[in-house]
Amino acid sequence: MITACVHVAIREYWNINGGGLLVNGKSEKNKGALATIAANHIPELKDFFSHGEVQCFKRGETVFSEGQAITQIIDLVSGCASVSRNGKNGRRQILAFVGARQFIGGASTALYPNSVVALTNVEAIAYPKSVLEQAVAIAPEFAKHFQILLVNMIESRDDHIFAIGQRTANERLASFLLHLRNNQARFSTGGARYQSNRIDLPMSRVDISDYLGLSVETISRAFSWLKRQGVINFSDSTQCEIVDLPRIQEFGGSDDFTHHRGSAQT
Amino acid sequence: MITACVHVAIREYWNINGGGLLVNGKSEKNKGALATIAANHIPELKDFFSHGEVQCFKRGETVFSEGQAITQIIDLVSGCASVSRNGKNGRRQILAFVGARQFIGGASTALYPNSVVALTNVEAIAYPKSVLEQAVAIAPEFAKHFQILLVNMIESRDDHIFAIGQRTANERLASFLLHLRNNQARFSTGGARYQSNRIDLPMSRVDISDYLGLSVETISRAFSWLKRQGVINFSDSTQCEIVDLPRIQEFGGSDDFTHHRGSAQT
DNA sequence: CGATATTTTGAAATAATTCAAAGGCAGTGG
DNA sequence: CCACTGCCTTTGAATTATTTCAAAATATCG
C-alpha cells in the first residue's frame, strides 16, 4: 500500500545547472537548514551536506505522502509547502507551512504520518536519513543546533494551538498574516525580505482555512473585514499589504507569540 | 518584573527520604525522562543525572512561570501538570498536560514563554540547564534519544492541532479521553497502568476546556452526551470508565492520531 | 475568447458561547 | 453529626459566531 518515492518519477529538475546547489557557486540562501547549520557553526561538517540529491517539485506536487516510509530528510532551499494531516471523513488540517531552511521527514515512527505538498515550485535537497543521524552522532555542536530547530517547531505549534483554540476568525487571520510577516525570509517568493509590510500569500484560501480550522468562506469574510477596517489592502489575492501595523498586531494578539514573550526585555 | 524561583520558597518536600530519588533504592519509575534515557541507553551517563535537586510541588503550585528566566530543566517523576499560555485578554490555552517522564524548560528563548502549574502533587528533579547541554555534548547516543523526545512533543502538538482545528466539541472530548488512555503511564495517579478503560481525570473541567479550546459548559455537555450515548460512565467526576471502546474511538477519530498512522502495518 | 477554478458575498441553519440558575461535593465550624 | 459555606459541575434558555448552501464576481488557463 505504500507509495514511497513514486513522486521521484514525476518530478522534474529545473534551473539547476551544477551537480548540486552547494557546489554550483551560489551562497547561503541556496542551502537548506542542515547545511546552513553546518556551514555556520561546525567547521568539521563543512562539506558533510554537499552530497545531497537536489530535488525539485512543481506547485501541487507531493513531496512526502502519508504512510510513506521515511528514508530521507528533505531540506527546503526555496519555495513553500504545506504539511497536513488528512482525516478519515475528508477533513484536512494543515499543521504548518514550511519554507526555505526548514526540513521535512522528522518523525518518531517508521512511516511518515503527514502529507507534504508543494504550494509553489520548491527546490530542496534530500539526504538519506542516515546522513542526519551521522551528523548528530559525530558533531555535538550540530546536535545542539538541530535541537534548536526542533524546539522552534514546538514553539510554532504552540503559537498555532493558541490561535486556533482561543482566537476568533478575524483574530486568527490577523495573527496568521503577522506570522507570515515574521517569516518572510522563508515564505516570500521574491527573495529574502524580512518584516516588510508587503505579504506574499503563496497558499490558497482553502489552504489558509485548513490551517486556521475555519471554512473558506469565513476566511474570505475575515479578509474583507480586515480590509474594511483599513488595516490591509490587496493588489491581487496573493499579495496583501499591511497598512496599519499596530492595529493588526492588536487584532492578532502579537503579544502572545512565543518570540515576543520569550525575549528578555527591560 | 521576573519572579524567577519564587516558587522555591513556598515549595515543600514530602515523602522523600534519601538524598535524591535516584539514590534511594527505588527503581525506574522514580526517574524522570532524562535519567531514564541515560539509564536505559547510555552506560557512560549512568550516574550523570543522579545529582539533580529533588523538587516537589503541591496541587495548584506554580512550577514554572511565564517570563521566568530558564536556568533549570525540570523533569517530572510523578504527578501531572499543565503547560499553558495566558493571553492578554484573560484567555488561557493549555498547550499540553505533562506527567511522569516528561520534562519542562525547553525553549529557544531566554525566558520561558509558558506557565506550568501542578494539577496534582508533583515530584520532579531539577537539573541546571547546563547538565542537559553537557549530556548532549558528551554522549551522541543521548542526544539522539533526547531528539526523539522533542519529536514526540511535536507529534503530540500535531494531534492536538488536528483535534482543535477539525473536530466538533463531542469529538474533541472523545479524542482527549483516548489520549489520556494512551498515556496512562504518565497521568494515572494510581500507578502505571496502561490502556486500562478506567481513566483518571486529574484536571478540572475548566482545564479540559482550556485544553480543547471550548467553554466549560460545552465540556460538561459533551461529557453528558458521551454518557447518554452509553460510551462512558462516571464513578465520581474525576474518574471515568470507557464502556464502549470501539464507539468512543470512532467518535474520537483515533485513526488520526500520529502513533496510529505512523506504525508500519501490513 | 470561452471554460474552469477560485474567491467573494448573501441568507439560512447550526454549533458553541454566554448568561443564569440549580445541583453536588468537600471542608469548616457549631 | 449536621448545617453552612464556597467551589466545581451540570443543566437550561437566549445569543452569537461560524458553517452550510447557493449564487455572483473575479481570476486563470488553454
Comparing CA positions, the residue from B119, B101, B127, B121 lying closest to residue B16 is B121
Q: CA(A179)–C1'(D28) in Å?
A: 28
pLDDT band (50, 70, 90) for residue B188: confident
pLDDT of residue B134: 93
pLDDT of residue B101: 93
For residues A205 and B261, which has the higher predicted lDDT (pLDDT)? A205
Q: Give yes or no for a contact between A35 and A127, defined as CB atoms under 8 angstroms apart.
A: no
Strand partners, A64: A116
The predicted model gives B188-214 an average pLDDT of 88
Tell me the per-residue pLDDT of B96-132, one tens digit each, with 9 for 90 and over.
999 999 999 999 999 999 999 999 999 999 999 999 9
pLDDT band (50, 70, 90) for residue B44: confident
Compute φ and ψ for A162, nearest 5 degrees: -60, -45
Question: Length of chain A in residues, anyone?
Answer: 266
Q: A8-22, B188-202, B246-260: which has the highest mean pLDDT?
A: B246-260
Provide the percentage of residues in chain B whose pLDDT is more than 70: 86
Q: Give yes or no for a contact between A205 and A216, defined as CB atoms under 8 angstroms apart.
A: yes
pLDDT band (50, 70, 90) for residue A191: low
Compute φ and ψ for A78, nearest 5 degrees: -155, 165
Q: Long-range contacts made by residues B166-169, C-beta under 8 angstroms, separation at least 24?
A: B166/A87, B166/A91, B166/A92, B166/A93, B166/A213, B167/B253, B169/B212, B169/B214, B169/B218, B169/B219, B169/B221, B169/B222
Tell me the per-residue pLDDT of A211-226, one tens digit each, with 9 for 90 and over.
999 999 999 999 999 9
Tell me the per-residue pLDDT of B2-17, one tens digit each, with 9 for 90 and over.
333 222 222 333 333 2
Q: Which grid coordinates are listed for A180?
A: 507570515
Tell me the per-residue pLDDT of A34-73, one tens digit each, with 9 for 90 and over.
999 998 899 888 888 877 899 999 999 999 999 999 999 9
Q: CA(B222)–C1'(C17) in Å?
A: 14
Which amino acid belongs to residue A22? L
DSSP output for A9-35: HH----S--SSSGGGSS--GGGS-HHH
pTM, two decimals, is 0.90
Nearest Cβ partner for A143 among B66, B106, B140: B140
Q: Give yes or no for a contact between A251 and B101, defined as CB atoms under 8 angstroms apart.
A: no
Comparing CA positions, the residue from A31, A14, A58, A259 lying closest to residue A154 is A259
Provide the percentage of residues in chain A whose pLDDT is more than 70: 86
Q: CA(B179)–C1'(C28) in Å?
A: 38
For residues B17 and B211, which has the higher predicted lDDT (pLDDT)? B211
> Residue B213, CB, less than 7 Å from strand C?
yes
Residue A197 DSSP label: S
Mutation target for A interface from B149, B161, B255, B265: give the one with most A CBs within 10 A.
Answer: B161
Strand partners, A242: A232
pLDDT band (50, 70, 90) for residue B191: low
Q: Which grid coordinates are listed for B124?
A: 520532579
Mutation target for B interface from A70, A162, A172: give the one with most B CBs within 10 A.
Answer: A162
pLDDT of residue B187: 84
B221: nt with nearest C1' to CA: D10
pLDDT band (50, 70, 90) for residue B59: very high
Residues with Cβ within 8 Å of residue A97, at least 6 apart in sequence: A80, A81, A82, A83, A119, A187, A203, A207, A211
Instruction: To the nearest 10°, report the CA torsion of B180, B186, B187, B192.
Output: 100
Distance CA B69, CA B55 (A): 18
Asked if the C-beta of B90 comes within 8 angstroms of chain A's C-beta atoms, the answer is no
Comparing CA positions, the residue from A112, A174, A218, A46 lying closest to residue B158 is A112
Tell me the per-residue pLDDT of A127-176, one tens digit each, with 9 for 90 and over.
999 999 999 999 999 999 999 999 999 999 999 999 999 999 999 999 99
Provide the percentage of residues in chain B whose pLDDT is more than 90: 72
How far A17 CA sits from the closest chain B CA (Å)?
35
Distance CA B252, CA A21 (A): 45
Asked if the C-beta of A148 comes within 8 angstroms of chain B's C-beta atoms, the answer is yes
Share the mean pLDDT of chain A.
Answer: 86
For residues A13 and A217, which has the higher predicted lDDT (pLDDT)? A217
Share the mean pLDDT of chain B.
Answer: 86
The predicted model gives A62-90 an average pLDDT of 94
Q: Which nucleotides of C are covered by protein (CB under 7 A)?
A: 6-11, 15-20, 25-26
pLDDT of residue B145: 95
pLDDT of residue A262: 82
Distance CA A164, CA A173 (A): 10
Distance CA A109, CA B261 (A): 9
pLDDT of residue B204: 97
Asked if the C-beta of A149 comes within 8 angstroms of chain B's C-beta atoms, the answer is no
- The yes-or-no verdict on residue B55 having pLDDT over 70 is yes
Comparing CA positions, the residue from B80, B71, B75 lying closest to residue B51 is B75
Q: How many distinct helices (H) and strands (E) make up chain B?
A: 10, 11
Tell me the per-residue pLDDT of A240-266, one tens digit each, with 9 for 90 and over.
999 999 999 999 999 999 998 887 655
How far A115 CA sits from the closest chain B CA (Å)?
11
B218: nt with nearest C1' to CA: C16
Residue B230 DSSP label: T
